[in-house]
A and B are shown apart, each in its own frame.
Chain A
């Protein structure tokens, strides 16, 4: 049986308490929310914090509030998020992203904050200690080299969060709290293009909430590539959010998932569409442009060349879906689930 290494367990009741404990020894302390990312990593000895600060007892983190948009506590479980009618109605792309994370059990446990801060993944890294010893480790943990590209100066582990690309496309911000105070940063700025230091979150900071701006006039869609209908992390994904004026795109963001060490904003592709009607031709050229920036590496399921090609399809499907095309059959083929945008939301068109 795979077992956890020893650690000190802290269960604060307030964010302040949590921040204080975290500040004691930030380098060797890790935050525990749903446990679905941290605990497997600890069992594989990829992460071996001396102290684990559990956030579950902080009830304020598990709430979703209305405001100018939606304020989602970082401790909200993915199941809670999916079950929230406001999310389903107004942020269908976020709903689709969250509904495709892992499995029902893991969504019952995993949190929005946890998925956002999900450790980057790599088939050279997400292995037992003994396996990693067999390759003399890698630079992300205990070793020197990045086996994905042996001359790479930095770690090429893959951003594998489903919700982050979508939240970034929706223009969401996150609130970070430490004993030093509070700061709010756009989701895009939470991530760095480095498989090891993939978050700009400081070691003593806690992501407490995610604010998604009001959805009025916006449509969104999330398309994910994975082998199976459940369990699998994305190996490529397209998150699209757009504001329309009639048929004309007023504002549009495309963010790619799982093809880099961070969610990748395809700005040039988005620019092609802004101010335009979404014609088939334009969608195609935007999809090609978006795929052009994807940098999949050989460290996930599927071949990298094919994944890159799939980015184009995913972006195209997402754009077609927000245009209002009936993408149900296609989505069912790819996702092996319905994942329908609720009628009232797609009726906005």
Chain B
């Protein structure tokens, strides 16, 4: 490995000063002359037909400039091309309490708020769907008029090899059902956007979005405008976590209003509205049937998942596939069947939250492995060490894994936590639990299928010696600006603070698909390396000839370009730029990155591929009061296979932040709803859309965290780096549940693990019942016939043997493809089935 001067050094992030001086301009911090303010009227009905919307009184209010309703927004949009099911304002029906129905734009927010409450909407209530069981049971009325069937949005089935035979051949088959409750991102910054017409008459929108490129596309479609006449500027996000990755109603509304009024229109959602935007963690019920040999090898896995999607598609089809995507990336699973079903309900739409679809089934798998280890009388760490997926291979479901540092992660946390002295040895009430995970370093396929690069970077070098780097990537707190600048500085041998970053602006910066799927470091980073290396090459020729040495002897470091064999001989970086500019003219370069093609060629194979995967292992220690179930977490040890740490200060922050968010999910966070007694009311409301009652951990709720970074550079990553933003969250929830079992001997097969649930499991045990709290069964779902794909190890070519001819990928700029949803011949029904947690 070549020595580096910026990469790998802990250092202040390039935007650090702005953040500590309050100068970072978030969307709501933008104040423009002639600015007016927007408020949305949101549905008070969970499911209803809109009969009339009377805006007369609102329009009369002094100071009101504009009132908009669904009539102004005939064109639908959505993040995935297969589910363009949203309108900026509802047109014919509302689908959840909080669905936007009308908008008022007024001189100030107070006036807009006053006027919005004068809008009269008459609704004709429809049946309320409060749970997946409801939606599986009743086909009518449909929440949407698209989807697989009734209120089933999407049901998919994939089979890689003869799973039934694999389970039949196993020494043991473990059959467990788990539930993971929904939760939300809760960024401290509430979503905000401000739109205006620029002096040319084009639309400009500043927004707290993680995905300016997708907002750009959505605006062009929903407003029927040429994309070239729209400029989206992603302001730094005050936290995203996936919650600002969809194009949102409010963004499209203020854009439309700005065009109509020809003045800046701003909206900042209040906290309750942020809960309604949601797109958070799907509630998932899942069933794992895992075949295992006596010596601890998995023979096959049969996984079923049921997702409560809420009221719109969002990323839901992808989320559904993600619940089944990454099991094989972590452990060697030669045969695999996955069936996933997402239903619509009358709640805020679920979508991608940190870990997108994978934490739920990661929880199930890791808890089941703990049960398997217990049953086989094996140490859970040792059991896992024996089943880690082999590096640099294709999995049964055609995911190409790269480097795998999981074994070292496991050994590190086992060692650091003194695992062998603690596991099953601590006194009653204290316990340790272990879990592992893996995560994508960027989704291998774009949302809109095409052959375009996923990330582009441009560099401008000028005679000042200054370097400006342009990239569409979006700073959401994770430090993408710093990664970008750090890489450019490293390659060009200058200081990060010599580089200016221009990011997240569709007019100025080349496209980067956005800050989601942990893709930015790897994809933008590789694009940045390419752009910077090209710039270095441009400088090297002229400088080498001036110094009269071969170009390959030049070293770029310490703001100088010099002879590596005679370091005193050289020029300053600024001189180098001038020499080159004099020779070749204005200096600009580009870099881009496109991930390798995925190996799977079956429908659904687009979700899961990634250039490489990160790995994590964690040990969590808990204190549980066996009398009340009260639980605290005093310590967490975590080791993360990062490949290479670009800025260790930021990497540690991502790991610790993931532990924090994972603990919130594990212990307390819950997107809960209240269904009022149906005989009295059709109401279905978010139980507590507030920061007080949606519990997120405070500084006093945090444990000690011991973080280790496992660094074995992955050749696919920039300087060997893999992702860190999401993977470290995943093992925390199952590790907590496993630690609870170690502490008090009961299983809580449901997230969050609350004191009440622990106590109920303890009470169940005391009553002679299974020492467990969790779902009794997985609902019966009439699955479509699975697509049959032979695993690579059995000679498969990545195609399904029973799939009708696929559309060509280039034509399918329609995003995540339609999946193998064969309409079932009998209506889908939820019903009890006898499935016991055997382990």
Contact = CB atoms under 8 A, between A and B. Distances in A.
Direct contact of A and B (CB under 8 A): yes
Interface in A221-252: 227-232
Contact of B680 (A145, A231, A303, A333): A145
A135 B759 CA distance: 32
Nearest to A103: B698
Given A3-B110, A130-B272, A333-B623, A135 B683 contact: yes
Interface string B655-696: 000000000000010000010110011010111111011010
Given A3-B110, A227-B668, A333 B695 contact: no
Interface in A189-220: none
B698 A313 contact: no
A127 B674 CA distance: 13
B136 to A, nearest CB: 25
Contact of B698 (A147, A231, A303): A231
Given A150-B680, A303-B756, A123 B688 contact: yes
A310 B272 contact: no
A23 to B, nearest CB: 30
B759 A309 contact: yes
A134 B632 contact: no
A336 B632 contact: yes
A333 B701 contact: no
Given A135-B683, A229-B700, A306 B689 contact: no
Interface in A110-137: 123, 126-131, 133-136
Contact of A301 (B45, B686, B693): B693
A337 interface: yes
Interface in A288-343: 301-303, 305-306, 309-310, 313, 333-334, 336-337
B632 A3 contact: no
A2 to B, nearest CB: 5
A1 interface: yes
B759 A228 contact: no
Contact of B97 (A126, A134, A147): A134
Contacts of A3: 109-110, 113
Given A130-B44, A306-B756, A123 B693 contact: yes
B323 to A, nearest CB: 28
Interface in A1-17: 1-3
A336 B630 contact: no
Contacts of B686: 131
Contacts of B700: 228-230, 336-337
Interface residues of A, number: 35
B627 interface: yes
A306 B677 contact: no
A225 to B, nearest CB: 9
B668 A123 contact: no
Nearest to B679: A150
Contacts of B623: 333
Contacts of B630: 333-334
A227 B754 CA distance: 10
B697 interface: yes
B628 interface: yes
B270 A1 contact: yes
Nearest to A6: B110
A133 B117 CA distance: 11
A304 B113 CA distance: 36
Contacts of A227: 668, 695
Contacts of B756: 302-303, 305-306
A188 B680 CA distance: 37
A228 B790 CA distance: 50
Point out which of B625, B632, B756 has the most chain A C-beta atoms below 10 A from its C-beta: B756
Contacts of B690: 126-127
Contacts of B348: none
A127 B692 CA distance: 11
A102 B45 CA distance: 33
Interface in B101-155: 109-110, 113, 117
B755 interface: yes
Nearest to B28: A1
Contacts of A126: 690, 692-693
Interface in B17-71: 42, 44-45
B629 interface: yes
Nearest to B685: A134
Contacts of B744: none
Interface centre among A123, A134, A150, A310 (most CB of B within 10 A): A134
B627 A136 contact: no
B688 A133 contact: no
Contact of B632 (A1, A133, A230, A333): A333
29 contacts: A1-B109, A2-B270, A123-B674, A126-B693, A127-B688, A127-B690, A130-B42, A130-B272, A131-B685, A131-B686, A134-B685, A135-B685, A136-B683, A145-B680, A147-B676, A227-B668, A228-B668, A228-B701, A229-B699, A230-B700, A231-B698, A232-B692, A306-B628, A306-B755, A306-B759, A309-B628, A309-B759, A333-B625, A333-B632
Interface of A: 1-3, 123, 126-131, 133-136, 145, 147, 150, 227-232, 301-303, 305-306, 309-310, 313, 333-334, 336-337
Interface of B: 42, 44-45, 97, 109-110, 113, 117, 268, 270-272, 623, 625, 627-630, 632, 668, 674, 676-677, 680-681, 683, 685-690, 692-693, 695, 697-701, 754-756, 759
Given A1-B109, A336-B632, 14 more contacts: A1-B270, A123-B693, A127-B689, A128-B270, A130-B42, A136-B683, A147-B676, A228-B697, A229-B701, A302-B756, A303-B756, A306-B756, A333-B623, A333-B630
